[in-house]
Structure 1
Amino acid sequence: MTATRPVPAPDFVGYPAVRHGIRALLGGRPGTHRRRVPACPEWTVTDVLRHLVAIAERVLERHGGTPPAPAPDLAVPELLDRWDDIGEDLDRRLAAAGGRTGEVMVMDAYTHELDLRAALGVPPPVEHVAWAPSFEVLVRGFSGSVAGRGLPPLSLRTPGGSAWTAGTGRPVASLTAPAHDLYRALAGRRSLTQLAALEWSAAPGPWLPAFSWGPFVPPPRPGV
């Protein structure tokens, strides 16, 4: 995978930004905590937050920390507090570890922030410090899917001029989309119909199977 892009912020910068963003998103909307999240159709808003807290606990343990005692029935305000408590310890440990430590967790958290925003009718942020490191994780995963399926390399582009190569070698075609749409496409939040409707320089059919990789599968209906 090759790329022309901004240098990603360290993970320990992006993760607290996501926590603060989700707290701001959910803190003032108590009537929406049972709302279904279309990007995660089996989950409510509260379920998504529980998932994020559980992931933080797991990563904290891997880095030598001790999460608080289990509390399975917490409501959103208490879950936000628990996530902040765990996250502050985790931020210090990620900063000390450096490198790409925690990058998958940051990608997962930022992706779910976008899921929650879509579920609540809140536009995605114009800029977010977690976008670049999270997108790097998605491009690497998609690139492995392209190469693993024996597909020709594909150039991923944004209208602003950033470019990434998915696969190995010189790209034979390109996919161009706004940054947010490209992110959601790689994160399994766009249907095959939506993917095919993006701006391709060649017929997209050969590459569409590659959008199923890791935990991500294009939804059967248009995603958000």
Structure 2
Amino acid sequence: MDPIEEWSRAQERVIALLDGATEEQADRRVPACPDWTVRDLFSHMVGLGSDVVAGDEPDDHNEAWTQRQVEARRDHTVAQLIEEWRATAEPLREWMRQHGPRPLGDVIIHEQDLRGALGVPGGKDSAGVAAIRDRFAPRVGARLPAGTTLGLVGPGWSWASDGGEPERADVVLHADEFELHRAALARRSAAQIRSWTTKGDVEPVLDAFATLGDLPSEDRSE
């Protein structure tokens, strides 16, 4: 996989998703980012690229930094945001060639957040999704209670927190790879994670999935 090409493909999918969006669609709340509308989230995605290229990127991607991206584009139309993102694309690709493909995570994660808000599925089987799933599964593992192992098993992918056989882990979940990917990003509810549990007591490990904030109280899908 070429992560920079995957970033470019994801960018084009998002542009295709939002190009021609109505005001009602742009003003919809994003369930995965409830403080933001579709326009707000897209403003962050565009602003992140511009800030990274400009050398303005804090290590923690803190809330004040991301909110400034939204506020700076508060009066922009979706079409204007698309224009800015296209203009930033090649400088950002060059930045990734020099510094690594970290921005891939933002576009892959938020593409699906936007799709969830708009009710338009797509991009689930991309190599970018697989790459971010593989990046975040160990983050879940690092948050597990001491001495507890976790196995995630999908139809074509599996992972164990201890590097062993997933089915031999203390707690085992069986679900579609995309669902496991979204769970590792704190985009699935505790009830959804419980429903996939085929072995062990999942309750002590639920917090391990809260990698990007608290688990949602309601079930989510894209």
The answer to whether TM tops 0.5 is yes
Structure 1 CA distance for aligned equivalents of residues 18 and 110 of structure 2? 13
Aligned to 2:60: none
- Distance of aligned partners of 1:169 and 1:216 in 2 relative to their CA distance in 1, 3 Å threshold: farther
User: Which residue of structure 1 lines up, in the alignment, with residue 194 of structure 2?
Assistant: 196
SS in 2 for 1:130: helix
Q: What is the aligned partner in structure 2 of residue 221 from structure 1?
A: 218
Partner AA of 2:15 in structure 1: R
In structure 1, the partner of 2:33 is 40
Moved over 6 A (4+): none
Q: What is the Cα deviation at residue 114 of structure 1?
A: 0.6
- 2:138 aligned residue: 140
- How far, CA to CA, are the matches of 2:213 and 2:138 in structure 1? 13
5 Å matches for 1:109-124? 109-124=107-122
Q: Deviations over 1:94-136 (max 9, x none)?
A: 1244xxx233x21221111111111111123352131122112
Equivalent position SS for 2:127: coil
Q: Does 1:24 align with 2:16?
A: yes
Contact 2:10–2:107 (CA under 8 A) maintained in structure 1? yes
Q: CA RMSD in A?
A: 2.3
Identity %: 28
With over 3 angstroms needed to count, the CA separation of the structure-2 counterparts of 1:151 and 1:189, relative to structure 1, is farther
Which position in structure 2 is the counterpart of 1:60?
53
| Whole-angstrom CA distance in 1 between matches of 2:92 and 2:205 | 37
Distance 2:135 2:141 in 1: 10
- Worse-superposed segment, 135-144 or 42-51: 135-144
- Relative to the length of structure 1, the TM-score reads 0.81
- Alpha-carbon distance in structure 2 between the residues aligned to 1:132 and 1:62: 28
In the alignment, what sits opposite 2:92?
A: 90
Q: Measure the CA separation in 2 of the matches of 1:80 and 1:151.
A: 47
What number of residue pairs does the alignment pair up? 203
Please identify which structure carries the higher helix content: 2
In 1: Cα distance, 2:176 partner to 2:135 partner: 18
- 1:61-76 matches, cutoff 5 A: 61-62=54-55, 72=73, 73-76=75-78
Equivalent pair of 2:138/2:161 in contact (CA under 8 Å): yes
SS in 2 for 1:47: helix
- C-alpha spacing 1:153/1:83, structure 2 compared with 1 (3 Å): same
Going from structure 1 to structure 2, the CA distance change for 1:63 and 1:168 (only over 3 Å counts) comes to farther
* Match in the other structure for 1:3: none
Could you tell me how far 1:179 is from its partner in structure 2?
Answer: 1.3
Unaligned runs of 5+ in 1: 1-8, 65-69
Query: Partners of 2:21 and 2:220 in 1: how far apart?
Result: 23
Q: Which has the higher contact order (CA 8 A, sep 6+)?
A: 1
Please report how far the alpha carbon of residue 10 of structure 1 lies from its aligned counterpart in structure 2 after TM superposition: 3.1
- 1:11-32: CA deviations, max 9, x gaps? 2122111110110001032241
Contact 2:151–2:158 (CA under 8 A) maintained in structure 1: yes
> Unaligned stretches of 5+ in structure 2?
58-70
Contact residue 21 and residue 78 of structure 2 kept, 8 A:
no
